[in-house]
């Protein structure tokens, strides 16, 4: 999942916030809108072709990046 972590780490603050909002809305409605989360998923699938990929993996990548930035951790 290093590729996914890299893709998410390259997002701007605004894109990361938008992704969080999309994931929050997904939790409430069960619908993932066409937006930054789907864009990240599409970019990931272009680099690593896969058929089975859970939205929870995307959610984890977004939340990890948010926490990393909040605590100013470098990797």
Using one digit for the tens of pLDDT, what is the confidence trace for 35-62? 999 999 999 989 888 767 788 999 999 9
pLDDT band at 75 (very low <50, low <70, confident <90, very high): low
Residue 75 lies in a domain: no
Q: Which domain range does residue 11 map to?
A: 2-70
Mean pLDDT of 19-23: 97
Mean pLDDT of 17-22: 97
- 10 Å CB burial of residue 50 (0-12, 13-18, 19+) is exposed
Digit-coded pLDDT (tens) for 10-19 = 999 999 999 9
Based on the structure, what is the number of domains in the chain?
A: 1
* Helix (H) or strand (E) segment spanning residue 48: none
pLDDT above 90: residue 26: yes
Residue 36 lies in a domain: yes
């Amino acid at each position: 999942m290093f590729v996914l972590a890299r893709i998410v780490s390259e997002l701007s603050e605004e894109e990361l916030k938008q992704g969080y909002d999309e994931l929050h809305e997904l939790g409430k409605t069960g619908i993932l809108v066409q937006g930054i989360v789907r864009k990240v998923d599409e970019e990931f699938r272009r680099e690593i072709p896969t058929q089975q990929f859970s939205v929870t993996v995307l959610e984890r990548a977004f939340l990890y990046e948010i926490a990393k930035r909040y605590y100013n951790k470098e990797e």
